[in-house]
Chains A and B, each alone.
Chain A
Amino acid sequence: MSESTVEALSCQELVELVTAYLEGALSAEEHARFEEHLSGCGPCQVYLEQMRTTIRLAGRLTVDAIRPEAEQELLETFRSWKRR
Chain B
Amino acid sequence: MSTVELRELDALRSGDEEAFMALVRRHQAAMIRVAQIYVSRRDVAEEVVQEAWLGAFRGLERFEGRSSFKTWLFRIVANLAKTRAVREARTIPFSALRTPESVPEPAVEPERFRSWDDPRWPGHWASKPTEWPEHRLLQSESLAHIDDAIAALPDSQRAVITLRDVEGWSAEEVCNALELSETNQRVLLHRARSKVRGALERYFDE
Contacts and interface: CB of A to CB of B under 8 A. Distances in A.
A39 interface: no
User: Which residue of A23, A44, A71, A79 has the most chain B CB atoms within 10 A of its CB atom?
Assistant: A23
A46 B194 CA distance: 14
B201 interface: yes
Given A54-B193, A57-B143, A75-B21, A63 B53 contact: no
Contact of A10 (B107, B124, B129, B167): B124
A6 interface: no
Interface in B97-153: 106-108, 110, 113, 122-125, 128-132, 137-138, 142-143, 146-147, 150
Contact of B108 (A15, A59, A66, A73): A15
B16 to A, nearest CB: 10
Nearest to B15: A82
Interface in A45-84: 46-47, 49-51, 53-55, 57-61, 63-66, 70-71, 73-75, 77-79, 81-82
Contact of A19 (B17, B53, B129, B193): B193
Given A11-B113, A20-B190, A66 B25 contact: yes
A64 B165 contact: no
Contacts of B108: 12, 15, 47
Nearest to A79: B17
A53 B137 contact: yes
B123 A50 contact: no
A29 interface: no
B84 interface: no
Contacts of A11: 113, 123-125
B20 interface: yes
A66 to B, nearest CB: 5
